[in-house]
A and B are shown apart, each in its own frame.
Chain A
């Protein structure tokens, strides 16, 4: 081995603690990068594979009742390759020992000839025996969410008649990866999908030789809008709600949003992370190389050319980066698997496998290498550009000036020791700035990791304590007379009741359109309010419609503009609507009208479709029992349980990510502070040993070195707070999901947490360095120049 390579190996070994600490910083950056990008890719490819193998349709339509004879005409639509029709019906569901009634979506299946589209995957149990009219398979998440066992008996209200069904198996369907009746909240406990015998279902709802749900797969290259148009024309007179493509299919839409959110979460954050790690790597290597200027000069004097010396230090950087990349690959693989595991609770794919994308691993390593080389080259160049003679000279006493505060006349404030610290910082402001920026960067990462908690807590608080103050919601499958509000209000324990009307609607503005619901709100809502981000209350103006800003943006309309509304229920009224205003709500893509305006628009009497109840907490159970007896009240949602589920799943995921990011950020802080202290120690060993010889104690000497670092950390922390706020704002602005917007809320506890972790990491590195200061070899240090 060449002597120079040996030097490389020995130097790396001698600096192993520093090498490892830098490699760990890189490992965190590369690990997060690999995990996030690969997880996103795994999500997409798992979904595609699932859609392909389960033959997920491209077009969906729902009608009231259409005859089977229509099928051949649908099949004749140009571009349609396959047609499937079925009966789908929602019904009230109750299960012995399980709280208030729920909703079951019953889907008719001929288990002897399984459907060609939306193929089911059996997750547990067995298929119903063909012809067994009272056996069903249910979506797996419902069973899990309710902790039910196979064999559970369920009662559904079919067309006014109670039917007892036995759950014999659970299944996965691409149609219900995310099962919800609407809205973005997890609905697993309240909404079940039952696949049941087609004939029995058709019989119960008088749908023999008829269907109310159409699924289409399209030929390659077919125009989806053209097919949807043709289908709409065919189905129009059968009470169609309008055919939709995948982009408007509820489960697909939510899954896509989630994946998109993952993309932002999983790409923006790691890229920032890798950038910070790369920056720190750059700084640390710069200083490491600079600290070896004496050796570089000696090599030059011996006749080594610049290129060889440069290559030597690039080798140094390469080893550290590759070590970091190797660890990062392991970290990324582990983290990716863990993330995939968490996400698979949400994304029910039959196979959801994580694999590291080689391209991502290479890109991450490449970015780290470039950053490391940048630092190494800049530092080596700097040293090489000196004449070799300069490097060999014992460094001339550095030039010091009186401090700024001394020049301003406040010198008496500082003791000689403090002056040494301050002058050192003032003499090399750039170096101090790098340390400060490095530490501030880690503080910022800690904040972006931890603020989600605040944001979510705030979101929950606003949603459930300010916007929706009702603790029980009663929903009616078909709208009922306003009198129901009074009936419910009279139930024991109910303190207040407020009704709303909600009608599915297709809103059009020019070529843009969006499916949502028109919500009719009362005059003085107390339990369900429309609040903006600043918690100001908004009301729709008489005769107009109030839109959530996200929806207004999506439709590209402004207050005063006209919208075309097509109600997708009842008489299917089409009418123009004037936008009276917009409201920057935290959640949803909502459109509000006054309830009387809405009922008039629908040409209905005074109807409501849901009632929110404020119920005395202690009387809630008794009330829920009473509600079971009201057949028309199908959906009863207790917001507290909704809140708890949401908090439980989200909190677990957030906690996991926060934990990981905290560990990463702490690694970075240690990497920066520790390396800084070690380099300073190497550079100033002479000075510090001399002071020891002059009679200063170990403590006093340590204070000189660590005091400087402490001061830098003290400056870095508030700077990091500001940086963290910006970073969080940037990330929040990049996530614009339809369902809800992350409010940028950072509470003091998060700042406190970030500051405390940084101080702890700083102290830990200081302790290690302090140990080295205590063991300074006084005689040895003074005898030789490095």
Chain B
């Protein structure tokens, strides 16, 4: 597969009551397998919208986007559901764990419906939570919850891992721990990963950095040498 994602002239317009909000105003991009991409930009720049469209949670108003040879711009809801189920792992700023399920069970939510998943224990081992399998979200710290969310995302062995502000709700130390896990998944499992952040320091760990502003990609940079998560600081 030459490219994982390719998008052309993507736009997205939301209607908020009487106002129209143009979240994307023409985005072109190509993501290659195994890349770790950091999407930077101030709030309202369209990062989350772009990530949601790439993840099959939303569809563009106009333009084309595809995952490999799957057309995502014209896919039906059922196709998008299958696409998310088979290929995409999500990590959200607020974790979005099911509060009534333990760490292991939250991961099992995904392994129950995936084709060749890891065991929930293995996935939680990956994020360093092998000891806290039977804890409920309310019994876990924010960082731990986020790592459960990451385990839940990777347990299905997705081709892409999409992280929306994964450290946004976390303190510095915990945030770094979570970034380390993401970097390790990217390098050791070869999962193409995209991380949204408005924290420019995180850009140091990327293969490529896309800066968004006002619904467009305003700059693309390639760090001269990629830092490990431990090396970055902010």
How far apart sit A7 and B17, CA to CA, in the bound complex (Å)?
35
Tell me if B90 is interfacial: C-beta within 8 Å of chain A: yes
A10 and B100 form a contact (CB under 8 A): yes
How far apart sit A337 and B31, CA to CA, in the bound complex (Å)?
74
B101 and A6 form a contact (CB under 8 A): yes
A302 and B16 form a contact (CB under 8 A): no
Tell me if A396 is interfacial: C-beta within 8 Å of chain B: yes
Tell me if B69 is interfacial: C-beta within 8 Å of chain A: no
Tell me if B142 is interfacial: C-beta within 8 Å of chain A: yes
Assuming the contacts A7-B98, A7-B101, A295-B98, asked whether A302 and B58 have C-beta atoms less than 8 A apart, the reply is no
Tell me if A261 is interfacial: C-beta within 8 Å of chain B: no
A392 and B92 form a contact (CB under 8 A): yes
Residues of A within 8 A of B88 (CB): 303
Identify which of residues 438-463 in chain A touch chain B, using a CB-to-CB cut-off of 8 Å.
none
Stretch at the interface among B78-86, B123-131, B195-203, B218-226: B78-86
A394 and B101 form a contact (CB under 8 A): no
Tell me if A306 is interfacial: C-beta within 8 Å of chain B: yes
Tell me if B121 is interfacial: C-beta within 8 Å of chain A: no
Assuming the contacts A389-B52, A392-B96, A784-B94, asked whether A3 and B109 have C-beta atoms less than 8 A apart, the reply is yes
Residues of B within 8 A of A394 (CB): 94
Assuming the contacts A294-B96, A389-B57, asked whether A303 and B101 have C-beta atoms less than 8 A apart, the reply is no
Kindly identify which residue among B16, B86, B96, B113 contacts A304, using a CB–CB cutoff of 8 Å. B113
Tell me if A684 is interfacial: C-beta within 8 Å of chain B: no
Tell me if B30 is interfacial: C-beta within 8 Å of chain A: no
Identify which of residues 363-417 in chain A touch chain B, using a CB-to-CB cut-off of 8 Å.
387-389, 392-394, 396, 399
Residues of A within 8 A of B49 (CB): 389
Tell me if B152 is interfacial: C-beta within 8 Å of chain A: yes
How far apart sit A4 and B78, CA to CA, in the bound complex (Å)?
20
How far apart sit A490 and B68, CA to CA, in the bound complex (Å)?
115
Type the 1/0 row for A285-314, where 1 means its CB is closer than 8 Å to any CB of B: 000000000110111111111101000000
Tell me if A2 is interfacial: C-beta within 8 Å of chain B: yes
Assuming the contacts A389-B52, A392-B57, A783-B142, asked whether A302 and B110 have C-beta atoms less than 8 A apart, the reply is yes
B105 and A3 form a contact (CB under 8 A): yes
B90 and A3 form a contact (CB under 8 A): no
A396 and B98 form a contact (CB under 8 A): no
Tell me if B28 is interfacial: C-beta within 8 Å of chain A: no
Most buried by A among B16, B77, B86, B106: B77
Assuming the contacts A7-B98, A388-B57, asked whether A303 and B17 have C-beta atoms less than 8 A apart, the reply is no
Identify which of residues 4-50 in chain B touch chain A, using a CB-to-CB cut-off of 8 Å.
16-17, 48-49
A301 and B77 form a contact (CB under 8 A): no
Assuming the contacts A301-B55, A302-B90, asked whether A14 and B96 have C-beta atoms less than 8 A apart, the reply is no
A300 and B81 form a contact (CB under 8 A): yes
Assuming the contacts A389-B58, A392-B57, asked whether A3 and B108 have C-beta atoms less than 8 A apart, the reply is yes
How far apart sit A764 and B169, CA to CA, in the bound complex (Å)?
39
How far apart sit A632 and B110, CA to CA, in the bound complex (Å)?
95
Tell me if B59 is interfacial: C-beta within 8 Å of chain A: yes
Residue of A nearest to B18 (CB): A399
Residue of A nearest to B84 (CB): A303
Tell me if A113 is interfacial: C-beta within 8 Å of chain B: no
B57 and A301 form a contact (CB under 8 A): yes
Tell me if B112 is interfacial: C-beta within 8 Å of chain A: yes
B100 and A4 form a contact (CB under 8 A): no
How far apart sit A392 and B169, CA to CA, in the bound complex (Å)?
15
How far apart sit A6 and B105, CA to CA, in the bound complex (Å)?
8
Residues of A within 8 A of B81 (CB): 300, 303-306
How many A-B pairs with Cβ below 8 Å?
97
Tell me if A248 is interfacial: C-beta within 8 Å of chain B: no
A3 and B106 form a contact (CB under 8 A): yes
B86 and A303 form a contact (CB under 8 A): yes
Residues of B within 8 A of A556 (CB): none
Cβ distance B30 to chain A, nearest Cβ, rounded Å: 23
Cβ distance B137 to chain A, nearest Cβ, rounded Å: 9
Assuming the contacts A294-B96, A306-B81, A784-B94, asked whether A4 and B57 have C-beta atoms less than 8 A apart, the reply is no
Residues of B within 8 A of A393 (CB): 48
Most buried by A among B77, B86, B98, B138: B98
Residues of B within 8 A of A4 (CB): 109, 112
B78 and A305 form a contact (CB under 8 A): yes
Most buried by A among B90, B109, B156: B109
Residues of A within 8 A of B82 (CB): 303, 305
Cβ distance B156 to chain A, nearest Cβ, rounded Å: 8
Chain A: interface secondary structure? Answer: helix
Tell me if A478 is interfacial: C-beta within 8 Å of chain B: no
How far apart sit A298 and B48, CA to CA, in the bound complex (Å)?
15
Type the 1/0 row for B132-151, where 1 means its CB is closer than 8 Å to any CB of A: 00000010001000000000
Residues of B within 8 A of A147 (CB): none
Cβ distance B152 to chain A, nearest Cβ, rounded Å: 7
Residues of B within 8 A of A783 (CB): 142, 169
Residue of A nearest to B49 (CB): A389
Residues of A within 8 A of B152 (CB): 302
Kindly identify which residue among B57, B86, B94, B101 contacts A3, using a CB–CB cutoff of 8 Å. B101
A301 and B101 form a contact (CB under 8 A): no
Tell me if A220 is interfacial: C-beta within 8 Å of chain B: no
Cβ distance A367 to chain B, nearest Cβ, rounded Å: 30
How far apart sit A300 and B113, CA to CA, in the bound complex (Å)?
12
Assuming the contacts A389-B52, A392-B57, A784-B94, asked whether A301 and B84 have C-beta atoms less than 8 A apart, the reply is yes
How far apart sit A305 and B49, CA to CA, in the bound complex (Å)?
21
How far apart sit A305 and B85, CA to CA, in the bound complex (Å)?
9
Cβ distance B168 to chain A, nearest Cβ, rounded Å: 11
Assuming the contacts A6-B101, A389-B57, A783-B142, asked whether A302 and B109 have C-beta atoms less than 8 A apart, the reply is yes
Residues of B within 8 A of A304 (CB): 81, 85, 109, 113
How far apart sit A303 and B88, CA to CA, in the bound complex (Å)?
8
How far apart sit A294 and B55, CA to CA, in the bound complex (Å)?
17
B57 and A303 form a contact (CB under 8 A): no
How far apart sit A276 and B113, CA to CA, in the bound complex (Å)?
39
How far apart sit A762 and B224, CA to CA, in the bound complex (Å)?
67
Cβ distance B46 to chain A, nearest Cβ, rounded Å: 13
Residue of B nearest to A13 (CB): B100
Residue of A nearest to B100 (CB): A10
Identify which of residues 295-346 in chain A touch chain B, using a CB-to-CB cut-off of 8 Å.
295, 297-306, 308
A10 and B17 form a contact (CB under 8 A): no
Residue of A nearest to B55 (CB): A301
Tell me if A617 is interfacial: C-beta within 8 Å of chain B: no
How far apart sit A650 and B96, CA to CA, in the bound complex (Å)?
61
Tell me if A428 is interfacial: C-beta within 8 Å of chain B: no
B85 and A303 form a contact (CB under 8 A): yes
Residue of A nearest to B52 (CB): A389
Residues of B within 8 A of A396 (CB): 16
Residue of A nearest to B56 (CB): A388
Cβ distance B19 to chain A, nearest Cβ, rounded Å: 10
How far apart sit A11 and B99, CA to CA, in the bound complex (Å)?
9
A298 and B98 form a contact (CB under 8 A): yes
Cβ distance B39 to chain A, nearest Cβ, rounded Å: 15
Residue of A nearest to B92 (CB): A392
Residues of B within 8 A of A299 (CB): 98, 109
How far apart sit A302 and B114, CA to CA, in the bound complex (Å)?
10
Residue of A nearest to B101 (CB): A7
Tell me if A161 is interfacial: C-beta within 8 Å of chain B: no
What 5 pairs between A and B have smallest CB-CB spacing? A303-B85, A10-B100, A3-B108, A389-B57, A389-B52
CB<8 Å pairs between A and B, sample of 29: A2-B112, A3-B101, A3-B112, A4-B112, A6-B101, A6-B105, A7-B101, A7-B105, A14-B100, A300-B57, A300-B81, A301-B55, A301-B90, A301-B96, A302-B90, A302-B109, A303-B82, A303-B85, A303-B88, A304-B85, A305-B81, A388-B52, A388-B57, A389-B57, A393-B48, A394-B94, A396-B16, A784-B94, A784-B169
Q: A6-B101, A302-B110 are in contact. List 10 more A-B contacts (CB 8 A).
A: A3-B101, A3-B105, A294-B96, A300-B57, A302-B84, A303-B86, A303-B114, A387-B59, A396-B16, A780-B138
Residues of B within 8 A of A (CB): 16-17, 48-49, 52, 55, 57-59, 77-78, 81-82, 84-86, 88, 90, 92, 94-101, 105-106, 108-110, 112-114, 138, 142, 152, 156, 169
